[in-house]
Amino acid sequence: MTKTKWNIDPTHSEVQFKVKHLVISTVSGQFSKFEGSLETEGDDFDGASASFQLDVNSVNTNVVDRDTHLKSADFFSAEQFPYIKFSNGKLNKAGDDYKLKGDLTIKDITRPITLDVEYGGSMVDGYGQNKAGFEVNGKINRKEFGLVWNMVTEAGGVVVGDEVKLQLNIQVVKA
C-alpha cells in the first residue's frame, strides 16, 4: 500500500491551552505558529504516524507581560528551547474516534502522552484539495515538563494550576 502525507493547514487550524489562575478562573492562550503532518497508508487514518512542532515565541494570551513571562526561563525558556515538539505519534482507532499516542518535548524533557481525537470527516475543497479535520484534546501536568514556576498568594493559594488542558483544531491537506 502506498504512503500518503497530510500536512497541517495552519490557516484552518489552531492550538490552544487553558490553565487555572488562582484556582478560581481559567486563563486561555494559543500558539499561532506551528507545523506538522500525518502519514497514512492510503486514505485511512487508523495507524497514521504523526509529528508536530510549535514555535514557543508565538504564544499569545492577550497579555503582553504574561506572554513575555511565559517565554522566560521561569517557563518555556524560549531562547534556549524555541520549539515544543510532538514526535513518534501514532493515531489509532478507538470506537468512532481515535487516540493519539506519542512523545511530547517541552524544553529538554520528553514524556509520553495520549490525546483524544475526534475525527470531523474528510472533504474535497473548492480547489480540489483533499482535506480532513480533527479535534484533539488532552491534559498534561506542566511540572512534569519542567514548568515549575509558581507563587503562593497571601491566602495560601497558588497563582498557576498544574494541569494544562490542550485543545487543537486541526485541518490537514493531502500533499
How many residues in total does the chain contain?
Answer: 175
> Whose grid coordinates read 484539495?
129
Residues 6+ apart with CB under 8 A from 171: 8, 9, 12, 13, 131, 132, 133, 134
φ, ψ for residue 67, nearest 5 deg? -60, -40
Q: Which residues of the chain have pLDDT under 50?
A: none
Instruction: Supply the DSSP symbol for 147.
Output: -
Cell of 49: 504516524
16: cell is 490552544
What's this model's pTM, rounded to 2 decimal places? 0.91
For residue range 68-84, list pLDDT tens digits in order: 999 999 999 999 999 99
Q: Hey, which residues does 52 pair with through a beta bridge? A: 36, 86
* Cα separation, 4 vs 97, whole angstroms: 20
Concatenate the DSSP letters of all residues of 25-80 into one string.
EEEEEEE--EEEEEEEETTEEEEEEEEEEEEGGGEE-S-HHHHHHHHSTTTT-TTT
C-alpha cell at 102: 506519542
Q: How far is it, in rounded angstroms, from Cα 10 to Cα 78?
A: 21
pLDDT at res. 84 = 98
Which pLDDT belongs to residue 21?
77
Residue 67: closest CA among 30, 96, 38 = 30
C-alpha atoms less than 13 angstroms from C-alpha of 137 in its C-beta half-sphere? 5
pLDDT reported for residue 161 = 81
* CATH code matching the domain that covers 3-174, chosen among 1.20.810.10, 3.40.50.300, 2.60.40.10, 2.40.128.110: 2.40.128.110
In contact, 146 and 109? CB cutoff 8 Å: yes
- Could you state, in order of their start, the residue ranges of all structural domains in the chain? 3-174
How does pLDDT run across 105-136, given as a tens digit for each residue?
A: 999 999 999 999 999 999 999 999 999 999 99
For residue 71, give the H/E element and its range: helix 64-71
**pLDDT recorded at residue 163:** 87
